[in-house]
Amino acid sequence: MRGNKSGVQTRLLEMNPRAFFSPCACHSYSLLLEDIAKTCPEGMTFFAILQRLYVLLSASTQRWAIFTRHVKDLTVKPLSETRWECRTDSVKAVRYQIVQFYDALVDIAEETNDPKARSEAMPLCSDLLNFKFIVSIVFWYGILFQVNQVSKQLQGEAAELSVAVKSMERTIAWLQKYRTDGFDNAFADAKEITNDMGIELVLKENRISRKKRTFQYEAQDEPVQSPRESFRIGCFSLIIDRGISSMEQRFQQLKSHDALFGFLFSFHNHTKAEMRVHAANLEKSLTVNGTSDIDGYMLAEEMGALKSVIPEEIASQPSEILSFLSKRNSYVDFPNFWIALRILLTIPVTVASGERSFSKLKLN
């Protein structure tokens, strides 16, 4: 629908060139997680194991009874491509109850009479003991938990453009910091998990195939000496880097809107010259065929006069300012500022609240 050639975005802009396209921030976060999950084979394998785990446990009442006998608190969820919160729940369940999951799989393999279930349970037992899986489940839960918390904050009806942009900046900063020390912390937590399971964390050397050199000047491939470093570079760092680049790309539209309308959140801190520059840029973006929705020069003058009118506690909250002017019938005195605020506050940051309300229909 966001297609810039024949999508809904293009058709609406053809009818009203002054309209502003804004992607749903919550949907963008889901697409971000989808991007990084498919960055490397280890990421795809990790979620495939979780899906196999759910399919095996939920396929019969007998297996589920064995599972609930061991796992009392959190249960594994089916994975969805659109609702990544379910993946957070699944990863959390295995992250903090991996010993109980392992015991349940062992009992299923020993007690079931279904040869197919037995053949599926034993490989899953080996997967849960795998070094890569244990480290992956620790750092994936950290990533999913962080992104899910930000997504929930943006699902409210009062979410504004500035909130979305700040959450994006905080998430990028968190990913950059997590790239530095996240793997070491995940590795330490993985060691604690293996100690609880009574197993030794063993890293196997990756065998590197060497091709025959055609010319003498070609250098030999240097193998990665440490499997831990190989996994950090080839999986963890790759996922984080993809997450940062994908986030900057997907939220570029929100950043451009913030660059255009951001001064309305902090006009009380700008000088008169700065306000005139920002107001002129906004007027230009709202001008089509020689007509504009606002007068930039008058907008700057109105903001200068509003500094002594708007209370300090709401000076950085456009929705509160709009309500303040409406209650006092002051919007007639500040028409350009009134129009600019209305345009800003009608740019949707997310449609998650609408989707959540719509999904309630299935409860009837």
- Kindly write down the DSSP assignment for every residue of 185-212, as one continuous string: HHHHHHHHHHHHHT----PPPPP---PP
For residues 192 and 180, give the distance between their C-alpha atoms in angstroms, rounded to a whole number: 21
To 5 degrees, how large is the angle CA 332–CA 338–CA 344?
170
pLDDT in the model for residue 358: 45
Question: How far apart are alpha carbons 248 and 177 in whole angstroms?
Answer: 16
Among 47, 28, 18, 3, CA closest to 250: 28
Question: For the chain, how many helices (H) and strands (E)?
Answer: 16, 2
Q: What six digits make up the tokens of 312?
A: 């300090």
Count of residues making up the chain = 364
78/53 Cα distance (integer angstroms): 9
Residue 211's pLDDT is what? 53
pLDDT of residue 206: 47
Query: In 3D, which of 172, 207, 231, 323 has the Cα closest to residue 41?
Result: 231
| The amino acid at 229 | E
Q: What is the pTM of this model?
A: 0.80
Do residues 46 and 133 lie in contact, with contact meaning Cβ atoms separated by under 8 Å? yes
- Locate the domains of the chain by residue range: 22-204+226-250, 256-345
Closest CA to 46 of 127, 164, 155, 126: 127
DSSP secondary structure code for residue 154 in this structure: T
Question: Which candidate, 359, 355, 261, places its Cα nearest to that of 25?
Answer: 355
Distance CA 350, CA 164 (A): 9
pLDDT tens-digit map of 344-360? 888 877 776 544 444 44
Contact 62, 112 (CB under 8 A): yes
**67/101 Cα distance (integer angstroms):** 7
The SS3 of residue 305 is helix
Distance CA 76, CA 97 (A): 10
For 111-165, write each residue's pLDDT tens digit. 888 888 888 999 998 888 888 899 999 999 999 998 888 888 777 666 778 888 8
How many CA atoms does the CB half-sphere of 137 hold within 13 Å?
25
Intervals of the chain under pLDDT 70? 1-4, 82, 156-158, 200-225, 352-364
pLDDT tens sequence across 189-202:
988 888 877 776 66
- Give residue for tokens 């904050």: 153
Output the DSSP codes for 3-71: -TTTSHHHHHHHH-TT------HHHHHHHHHHHHHTSSHHHHHHHHHHHHHHHHHHS-HHHHHHHHHH-
Terminus-to-terminus CA distance in the chain, angstroms?
A: 29
